Amino acid sequence: MNAWIAKQQYLIDFTLSSLARRKAKNLGLLIVYTLIVFLLASVMLFTHALRHEAAHVLDGAPEVVLQRMVAGRHDLIPPGYLERLGRIRGVQNKEGRLWGYYYDPVVKANYTFMVPNREPVPAGTLVVGAALAKARGLAVGNVISFRSYSGKLFGFSVARILSPDTELVSADLVLLNEGDFRNFFEIAPGYFTDIALSVANPQEVRNVATKLAQQFPDSRPILRDEILRTYESIFNWREGIVLALASLAILAFAIFAWEKASGLSAEEKREIGILKAIGWETGDVIKMKFWEGALVSLAAFVFGYVLAYLHVFHTSAMLFTPVLKGWAVLYPHFDLPPVIDGFQVATLFFFTVFPYAAATLVPIWRAAITDPDSVMR
Amino acid sequence: MIFQPAIIALLLASLVCVGLLVVSAPFAFDIIRHWNIRSGSERQLVLERRTYLLSTLLTFVFATQLVALLLFVFNADKMSSMFVGAMCAVGTLNVNVFGFPALIAQIVVFFLAANWLVINHVDTRAHDYPLVRIKYILLLALLPLLLVAAVLQLRYFLGLKADVITSCCGSLFSEEAPGVTGDAAASPPLPTMIAFYVALALAAGAGLFYRLRKRGAYFVALFSGAAFVVAMAGILSFVSLYIYEHPHHHCPFCVLKPEYHYQGYWLYLPLFIGTAAGLGVGAIQPFSRVPSLTVIVPAFARKLATLAAVMWSLFAAVASFMILNSRLVLLEG
């Protein structure tokens, strides 16, 4: 065993010095290789961080949301609905929610108006999200007026601005008092936008939803798990599409690697010839070439991955943002928490090192079977 | 559901592997027909050079299979969030009928490939390459199996459809929602536990016996193969329960998760290495009478048998440790 390790050590030593002797050629390969790893790793790190963040945000969401449908469209919950809900077993807590959208022609953006169920906002005041406050130039104590859908003008004073830490979910958020909300949108007392249900036992969620669907045929229950699953699929799908497009780049890279590996210079050929003349076997040359590939791959993988990490988590993935993030006027500015996943590293390995290895197999063999006499003659 | 990174990677890997083997099949055929070590003809020289390419290629293919097997299991586990009722890899593999067959086919391919590599290793140690023909006949026999595994995997992935929100969620609940079964069937604990330890003792004992007496090579292979099956049944039936400390959670995959401190690797690594080594002892035994291998085969088989014995003992020790360390009481009295 020790002899085997020693042999590999000498081979690696030799390979390193032979790589150093042909700097220009190997540097070109290394740069292209690093670039490929960087590209794919950025996509993967970015989508994974987004997925993680989405799951994190939804952690606090209610298990089930019940919406009422009229002619296939989302409608208000009429009075008495909440009381009829009371008898479903397994539902720990239920509350009617009031929220809606408001289009502000000043900044040409949609706001989300919402009545918080905990910590009610005093009448006549607002709590606004940080991105919105920036867009309208608001500070605490300022007065802002909105023209309601009925044409009446309503004035509010800003009581508080939400912390920028929560910007991913609160960029366009406006919190207000229940009475103000009902006056502004002209919603009669007893009506709600939808109903949030919390279910203590996760295994009961589907049963509760089934009962809801039977008891209220005009409603649709939306489960938190379902939202999560949909996000997951969407992000995976986007990542997959980008990777499928990038597979062309991988193919080009494989051809490039094949070319590099098979285009042996006369000097390299002579070197292999001499090695074989002094007693190296074909198998040894293949091993040497294997170590060469492994070292280059490892270096490119580490460089590419570190660069991608910096790109995604320190420059907010400026190259991919337009494709992968989505778009809005009041776009939240947020920094993704760094997440690294072993599974993703393994997948990335398959996308980069595997094609490289497959492409260089035959050229390596061609180089290794070189006859000593034919090159030294 | 093809556009998932890991699925693309797995399909790419199996496509490349099958492609490489298909391309090398005519060369293998050539070698089987024309190989003659005593000849100095140009054709023989070309063939000898090709054997280097083929064995490198196969090592590559089989190494890939090993990593792909791991990625397949990880991927199944990751995808569980996308199917109603699936809690882990078992649920995901149950989504359609091709899931478990695809996994089993990959495991079978992995063990056969490991045996091929053992035979290859023995052959290259001998001065006259006595097993070249047999090796390449075996390779051609492996090709259809690899193809079957690849097709099963493709069918499995093509059959996956994530349960995402539809415009009317209510309809998902009012009709009979086709949730997948998240549980694996398992045998009763006490008889399985007895069979488990008997099988492990036989496998480890056979390995040890071969090391001491150089006899009973086929028994090492037989007992190792049987012990693999019984060990998997044991993991399903009671080892996993002790790890999860839950009397109904029969899952062979969740043990690999961080929630359970990756304990599964301590089980599966010795299990797979032990099985591969044990089977390898039997695989090279038929060639122990070949003149140039009379010394090489027993020496290498002894190493493999020792490895198998160590790994089986380690596996038994790890499993017992997990059982004793658990707070679950499965068998009373």
Question: Over chain A (377 residues), what is each successive 10-residue block's mean pLDDT?
Answer: 86 88 85 92 86 82 87 87 79 88 87 87 89 87 88 90 80 89 91 89 82 84 84 82 84 88 79 86 86 90 93 81 66 74 85 88 84 74
Is A251 within the bounds of a domain? yes
Mutate to test the interface with B, among A47, A347, A362 (most CBs of B within 10 A): A347
Q: Which of B1, B11, B12 to mutate to test the interface with A (most CBs of A within 10 A)?
A: B12
Q: Does A66 reside within a domain?
A: no
pLDDT value of residue B176: 45
d(CA A43, CA A320): 8
Which of A153, A186, A219 delimits the end of a domain?
A: A186
DSSP state, residue A121: P
Cα of A292 to nearest chain B Cα, Å: 15
Question: For position B280, what pLDDT does the model report?
Answer: 93
Identify the CA nearest to B54 among candidates B140, B114, B150.
B140
Q: Are A221 and B168 an interchain contact pair (Cβ–Cβ within 8 Å)?
A: no
For the beta carbon of residue A220, count every other beta carbon within 10 angstroms. 25
Residues A245 and A180 in one domain: no
**Assigned domain for A334 exists:** yes
pLDDT per position as a tens digit, B279-328: 999 999 888 888 888 888 889 999 999 999 999 999 999 999 988 888 88
Distance from CA of A227 to the nearest CA of B (A): 7
Residues of chain B with pLDDT under 70: 1, 85, 163-186, 332-333
Determine the pLDDT at residue B277: 93
Residues A242 and A371 in one domain: yes
Picking from A186, A214, A246, the residue at the C-terminal end of a domain is A186
Residue A159 domain flag? yes
Residue A377 distance to chain B (closest CA, Å): 20
In A, which residues are within 8 Å of B81 by CB distance? 228-229, 232
Whether residues A252 and A352 share a domain: the answer is yes
> Are A233 and A331 within one domain?
yes
B179 near A CB under 8 A = yes
Q: What is residue A324's predicted lDDT score, i.e. its pLDDT?
A: 61
φ/ψ of residue A93, rounded to 5: -150, 140
- CB within 8 Å: B174 and A343: no
Cβ atoms of A161 and A128 within 8 Å: the answer is yes
Q: In terms of domains, do A235 and A172 share one?
A: no
- Residue A123 maps to which CATH number? 2.40.40.20
Contact B21, B143 (CB under 8 A): yes
Regarding whether A351 and A233 lie in a shared domain, the answer is: yes
Q: Which domain holds residue A155?
A: 99-186
Interface check A245 vs B, CB under 8 A: no
Is there a contact between A132 and A174 (Cβ–Cβ < 8 Å)?
A: yes
| Whether A295 and A350 share a structural domain | yes
B165 contacts on A by Cβ (under 8 Å): 222, 226-227, 229-230
Q: Where are the beta strands (DSSP E) in A82-204?
A: 91-97, 99-104, 109-114, 125-128, 143-147, 153-161, 173-176, 194-199
Structure-block tokens of residue B130: 């006595």
How high is the pLDDT of residue B199? 92
| ipTM value for the complex | 0.81
B168/A69 CB distance under 8 A: yes
Sketch the domain layout of chain B as residue ranges: 5-163, 189-325
Within a domain: A305:
yes
The Cα–Cα gap between A93 and A121 comes to 22
Chain A 52-71, CB below 8 Å of chain B: which residues?
A: 69
pLDDT of A227: 83
Q: Which residues of A touch B172 (CB under 8 A)?
A: 226
Number of domains chain A contains = 2
> Does residue A338 sit within a domain?
yes
Question: B4 to chain A nearest CA, in Å?
Answer: 5
With beta carbons less than 8 A apart as the criterion, state whether A259 and A362 touch.
Answer: no
Predicted pLDDT at B171? 46
